[in-house]
Amino acid sequence: MLKFIRSASTLFFAFFTACSAQAAISVPEGSRIALAFKEPGSEAVAAYHGDTFMIPASTQKLLTALAASLYFGPDWQFKTRMLAPQGAIQNGVLNGDLVLEFDGAPDLTRQALVNLLAYLKQQKVTQINGDILLDVSGYGGYDHGDGWSWNDLPICFTAPASAVVIDRNCVFAQLKANQLGAIAEPIIPAGQPITITSEARVVTQQEYYSGCDLRVDMNSSNNYHLTGCIPQQSGTPWPLSFAITDPTAWGVELVNWAARRADISLTGEVKAVRHVPDNLVELAHVPSAPLKKLLDRMLKRSDNLIADSLSRALGHYYLKRAASYAAGADAVRGILKNKAGIDLGSALLADGSGLSAHNLITAKQMLEVLDYIALHDNELQLIKLLPVAGMSGTLGSRGSVQNPPLVKNVTAKTGTLQNVSNLAGFMTTASGKRKAFVLMTNGLTFPPEVRRALKAHRIASPHYKFERQILEQIYREAPIEITE
């Protein structure tokens, strides 16, 4: 058994062999946990495996949010700019190439592109004697982070945070699956520049939830091939959503579409480039939502696209390097050290979202980030952007915090990957003290029948009992005994 003991300035765990009146809390079978908590500004830190490196999952977005707030400020915006050579517009014609400079804005839409190109019509321009060039030179490296799960790549929560992001780099379709034993038929909405082919067979719900999954193979031209199984649907087709695999091709197709919608003709073509002429002037630009609004969505909904777009942008603007995942990780680390005094030491950052299983951080390091956020919340205004237990975001329905005293009292960032479930945030204890806490559970797994029930959404995760017990003891400011 393990129990908190208070020393002169530090709370720590010590080993005990005798039983206590307080029932010990059992760690989920075979898993690894790390726990740390404190009152912001206090030197007294309670920690269990607090210096053990753990996979943070989406709690890593706290680092990205803090770094972006410190460097960019709440009103900073991405800008998608439209440029042309000086003096190129004459008599209703733009002579030369039109350049669209993509800055990785995660909320850019196809309609915003139409509106941007419509500026030319306001200037009486109806024709471009040249090409439309998509400038993606600010970005470098892969559009997916190191350590992302390959079988998650077709899913929209792993949409690539590339230079070109349009409609969140996510496309929607449907599968007609109403006849058992038949091949499911893809339905692609008009205007979506993708192809979907199918060999997926329609099966019963029992067959599907017993392990016959729908599989997606994809290539670099935004083509998707479906195999495996899909459960029978009565009437309504099965909804599909796919992450774009080739953002540049996606951008070329949608800019072509936007030019047609804006009634702009061109003698050349639409293509992506990494070098543009020097004598360009800005004609117009589309701003993203300000940082404070992007962070609100990122933290409440655990939005990976926004997190990685911001991280890569930090790499570009703070380090003056091409916006890669590695540059973003270096920038976050540098900003936290130079502007907040937080030295991440041997922690490993592979992206800004926490999607990568390569990320590693300790509970104490994460607690240091929370401590800084709490002590500077008047300027940062980040705590109010976090999900609230039973009320908002990813804590709105989390089973561990739906009842008193935790409901409405825990304000925290969740972090979930395969076999990982974390929480990092704040609560007010029974005595009225604010506590910052980090609870990380890695190596979390269950018997096959439990995993099948979780996949079918028939049960809540069994580990929520452990999570609730830990949080309630922190709330009561009571000793915590843990058995492994």
Is residue 307 helix, strand or coil? helix
β-strand partners of 227? 215
β-strand partners of 441? 33, 421
Cα 413 to Cα 411: distance, rounded to the nearest angstrom: 7
**Is the bond into 189 cis (omega within 30 degrees of 0)?**
no
- The tokens describing 232, both together, are 């029978």
Is residue 260 helix, strand or coil? helix
Positions annotated as catalytic residues are 58, 61, 302
Cα 283 to Cα 334: distance, rounded to the nearest angstrom: 35
The residue among 475, 484, 343, 474 whose CA lies nearest residue 47 is: 474
Give the type of residue at 149.
Answer: S
Angle in degrees, CA 257, 260, 261, rounded to 5:
85
DSSP states of 76-133? ---EEEEEEETT-EETTEEES-EEEE----TT--HHHHHHHHHHHHHTT--EEES-EE
The residue among 452, 467, 115, 93 whose CA lies nearest residue 284 is: 115
